[in-house]
A and B are shown apart, each in its own frame.
Chain A
Amino acid sequence: MQQAEIYERLTQTLRDVFDDESLVATPELTAHDVKEWDSVNHITLVVAIEEEFGVKFKTAELEKMKNVGQMAEAIEKKTAA
């Protein structure tokens, strides 16, 4: 899957989960930048992304992710196979 498509779909998922139409997925975006992005919503986000892209993240992967860019990379790898 192309990076552009991944970011486009991530943007939509972020907007759905955090109920904020102004959100745009960028590589630098982190939980600190989004008011609603707390630990509860983080779980919702992970499930929503897994559903959107048909992928499954390992716990170790999730722990390492520091921003949306790393998440997009992980999705790219998983969907490349």
Chain B
Amino acid sequence: MQLNWLPLREDWDALLRSVKGMGPAGVGLVLRDLAGSRMEFSQMGKLDRAFTRAVEACDGAIPGLERVKLAILGSATISHLPPGIRVAGLRRGLQIDVYEAPYGMYWQELIDQASGLHAFAPDVLLLALDARHLAGAEGSTEAAAMELMRSCWRQARTQFQCQVLQQTVMPVFPNLMGDNEERLAQSPAAIVAKVNERLRAESEAEGVDLLAVDRFAAAEGMEFWYGADFWHRSKHEVHPKATAIYGDHVARLIAAGRGKSAKCLVLDLDNTLWGGVIGDDGLNGIVLGQGNGNGEAFLDFQRYALGLSRRGVILAVCSKNDEKNALEPFEQHPEMVLKRGDISCFVANWTDKAANLRHIAKSLNIGLDALVFADDNPVERALIRQELPMVAVPEMPEDPAGYVATVAAAGYFEGLKITDEDRARGQLYQANAERERLKDTVTDMGSYLESLRMHLIAQPFDSVGLTRVTQLINKTNQFNLTTQRHTEAEVTALMRNPKVVTLQVRLLDRFGDNGIIAILVARANGAEAEIETWLMSCRVLGRNVEEACLNVLVEQAGALRVRRLVGIYRPTEKNGMVREMYRTLGFELTETEESGATRWTLNLEDYELRPVPMQVEVVREAAV
């Protein structure tokens, strides 16, 4: 049941045979393709040998693969581990060259400057110490085990400045007491549990990343991970059949250490985030939420995606749907866990999904190899695997109850470090919560707004903000007067046109930076300037940001010797909330078109700057 997120490939054996006699040019891609498919134990061995031969035929380096030197140091048999690691590296575009230290000689190899390990000079060092070695002897203690590992880590780090991976201790010992084993201090099982606990607490400070075999064993069953017969016969602690998954975990840690973990989860909608087809079944017909087994399974998958997004994984949607239908559950279904705001790039149309994934990667400014595409439809999955082999496409099970486990087991989003962003994100959430709390305690709106100590910064578009500006222009639906979409190239053209006023508006308050929250574009034409785009994030509604923006716009338009501002409202399904905005801001209605669009005018001569409850800073020169 291992590697079950990988697809089966009917022609696997034939494809492997074709590797023989291939030149260096295409061989890397074919091998990577083979490694990305599900395989049996003996197939893994065959692939590993074909790979090793190809490396030799290419004089040591297969073109297109990134080389990593991994040294494995162990206290028992480790010779069965490299094939699974090499194949899993291949799966991620890595050529992992493995050095195995001689049996049991991890310490000697570390300290002896003349050792094979020193000649090899690893980029990554994996320390795989077996449970008996650490906790099985008479007089073993958790402190001694920790001290031993710590000395190894320090040697490794000072000698090689490499990434250090520490295998956690496999829980191979029986309980002597039973369920309350930890009460018996000298119990080997208890020592293993304590050592693993301390590894989790102390490894980060030592710059060491854990390979959590104890957790895999707990999740997948000890009998799969460890066979006492193999231990007794040949000192294999990791069961040979578990080496494929063991290797995959090693490779994902190595890949994560090199910034190669996936960054974005792209989600299909119908039968992936909810049951049924929103376009046919409608808002009330789709299966989602409490009271229905499948409905809860879809909710669970949404919660998983939300959890990923909270730790920095970008979420995107790629669905064959009319956009209006696709958005409806996000905006109206009471059980939806994912909201429109959680999705950084929302693509719902009838274009093929390969083109849409390219668009998503481009608009998020990440590589296609940073995408993971979750779709219940095997046809779509096959299309993407064929058209965009660099996109990770998990083989979703038929039952939605298995979606979470499948995507999670694949380890696409392996993370090693808590980033500053992760911390900032945590703070941002907290700040939002505090803002809400403050709202509850201050009853007078004016003093509430004053108490926020808002600081608004308006500046012309610049190349730094270009991606974010384009993103907002293309995703903002509700507070958007014209819903005028633009490509990044079009936005650049606006930015460079001297007759166009562009503004990107940032808002800070006592709780933090809200980022860019409003975009305005006005084009001067004779005595008038027409506001082509005015959009705002709904997060800052009710804070007089509109008035502050208008103040800035009036001033900037005045500099172009314009006498009137013309505002346009074009109704869509989503933007009803701003139908009357121009009236509220003191514009006069001059025209109502048949389509429902309205034109409004504001004479600048009569305009008096509005008092606003914030400090306004205008940056004039674009930092291009």
A residues touching B (Cβ–Cβ < 8 Å)?
Answer: 13, 16-17, 19, 39-40, 43-44, 47-48, 51-52, 58-59, 62
Instruction: Give CA–CA (A68, B544) in the complex, Å.
Output: 85
Let me know if A47 and B229 touch, CB within 8 A.
no
Q: Which of B42, B79, B232 contacts A51 (CB 8 A)?
A: B42
Let me know if B46 and A19 touch, CB within 8 A.
yes
Q: Is the interface of A mostly helix, strand, loop or mixed?
A: helix
Q: Which of B42, B80, B234, B236 contacts A48 (CB 8 A)?
A: B42
Q: Which of B40, B43, B80, B232 contacts A44 (CB 8 A)?
A: B80
Residues of B within 8 A of A48 (CB): 41-42, 45
Pairs across A and B, CB under 8 Å, 12 listed: A16-B45, A17-B45, A19-B49, A39-B234, A43-B236, A44-B45, A44-B240, A47-B240, A47-B241, A48-B45, A51-B241, A59-B233
Residues of B within 8 A of A39 (CB): 234
Let me know if A16 and B42 touch, CB within 8 A.
yes
Let me know if A51 and B40 touch, CB within 8 A.
yes
Residues of B within 8 A of A13 (CB): 42
B429 in the interface (beta carbon within 8 A): no
Let me know if B42 and A17 touch, CB within 8 A.
yes
Let me know if A62 and B45 touch, CB within 8 A.
no
B230 in the interface (beta carbon within 8 A): yes
Nearest chain-B residue to A51 (Cβ)? B41
Q: Nearest 10 pairs between A and B by C-beta? A: A48-B42, A16-B42, A47-B240, A40-B79, A19-B49, A59-B229, A51-B41, A16-B46, A43-B234, A59-B233
B84 → chain A, closest Cβ, in Å? 11
B residues touching A (Cβ–Cβ < 8 Å)?
Answer: 40-43, 45-46, 49, 79-80, 229-230, 232-234, 236, 240-241
Residues of B within 8 A of A47 (CB): 41, 240-241
A55 → chain B, closest Cβ, in Å? 13
Nearest chain-A residue to B40 (Cβ)? A51
A22 → chain B, closest Cβ, in Å? 15
Nearest chain-A residue to B50 (Cβ)? A19
Instruction: Give CA–CA (A44, B49) in the complex, Å.
Output: 13
Residues of A within 8 A of B40 (CB): 51
B247 → chain A, closest Cβ, in Å? 14
Residues of B within 8 A of A19 (CB): 46, 49
Instruction: Give CA–CA (A39, B229) in the complex, Å.
Output: 15
Q: Which of B43, B49, B80, B229 contacts A40 (CB 8 A)?
A: B80
Instruction: Give CA–CA (A59, B231) in the complex, Å.
Output: 11
B524 → chain A, closest Cβ, in Å? 74
Let me know if A62 and B240 touch, CB within 8 A.
no
Let me know if A59 and B232 touch, CB within 8 A.
yes
Instruction: Give CA–CA (A52, B42) in the complex, Å.
Output: 9
Let me know if B230 and A43 touch, CB within 8 A.
yes
Instruction: Give CA–CA (A47, B241) in the complex, Å.
Output: 7
Instruction: Give CA–CA (A51, B41) in the complex, Å.
Output: 8
A26 → chain B, closest Cβ, in Å? 20
Nearest chain-A residue to B48 (Cβ)? A19
A73 → chain B, closest Cβ, in Å? 20
Instruction: Give CA–CA (A12, B106) in the complex, Å.
Output: 37
Residues of A within 8 A of B79 (CB): 40
Instruction: Give CA–CA (A39, B42) in the complex, Å.
Output: 16
Instruction: Give CA–CA (A17, B80) in the complex, Å.
Output: 13
Q: Choose among B45, B49, B234, B241 the residue with the greatest number of A CB atoms under 10 Å from its CB.
A: B45
A56 → chain B, closest Cβ, in Å? 9
B57 → chain A, closest Cβ, in Å? 15
Residues of B within 8 A of A16 (CB): 42-43, 45-46
B542 → chain A, closest Cβ, in Å? 65
Nearest chain-B residue to A16 (Cβ)? B42
B338 → chain A, closest Cβ, in Å? 41
Instruction: Give CA–CA (A16, B39) in the complex, Å.
Output: 13
Instruction: Give CA–CA (A16, B41) in the complex, Å.
Output: 10
Nearest chain-A residue to B232 (Cβ)? A59
Nearest chain-B residue to A41 (Cβ)? B45
Instruction: Give CA–CA (A58, B234) in the complex, Å.
Output: 14
Knowing that A43-B240, A48-B45, A59-B233 touch, tell me 15 more A-B residue pairs with CB under 8 angstroms: A16-B42, A16-B43, A17-B42, A39-B234, A43-B80, A43-B233, A43-B234, A43-B236, A47-B41, A48-B41, A51-B41, A51-B42, A51-B241, A52-B42, A59-B229
Instruction: Give CA–CA (A46, B241) in the complex, Å.
Output: 11
Instruction: Give CA–CA (A40, B49) in the complex, Å.
Output: 14
Instruction: Give CA–CA (A47, B236) in the complex, Å.
Output: 12
A19 → chain B, closest Cβ, in Å? 5
Residues of A within 8 A of B46 (CB): 16, 19
Nearest chain-A residue to B240 (Cβ)? A47
Instruction: Give CA–CA (A52, B43) in the complex, Å.
Output: 12
B519 → chain A, closest Cβ, in Å? 60
Instruction: Give CA–CA (A40, B240) in the complex, Å.
Output: 11
Instruction: Give CA–CA (A51, B2) in the complex, Å.
Output: 14
B13 → chain A, closest Cβ, in Å? 10
Nearest chain-A residue to B46 (Cβ)? A16
B490 → chain A, closest Cβ, in Å? 57
Instruction: Give CA–CA (A4, B80) in the complex, Å.
Output: 31
B473 → chain A, closest Cβ, in Å? 56
B39 → chain A, closest Cβ, in Å? 11
A39 → chain B, closest Cβ, in Å? 7
Instruction: Give CA–CA (A24, B229) in the complex, Å.
Output: 28
Residues of B within 8 A of A58 (CB): 229
B99 → chain A, closest Cβ, in Å? 16
Residues of B within 8 A of A44 (CB): 42, 45, 80, 240
Residues of B within 8 A of A17 (CB): 42, 45
Instruction: Give CA–CA (A28, B45) in the complex, Å.
Output: 25
Instruction: Give CA–CA (A40, B45) in the complex, Å.
Output: 12
B245 → chain A, closest Cβ, in Å? 14
Instruction: Give CA–CA (A39, B77) in the complex, Å.
Output: 11
Instruction: Give CA–CA (A33, B53) in the complex, Å.
Output: 23
Instruction: Give CA–CA (A54, B72) in the complex, Å.
Output: 31
Instruction: Give CA–CA (A48, B240) in the complex, Å.
Output: 10
Residues of A within 8 A of B236 (CB): 43
Residues of A within 8 A of B41 (CB): 47-48, 51
Nearest chain-A residue to B229 (Cβ)? A59
Instruction: Give CA–CA (A13, B229) in the complex, Å.
Output: 22
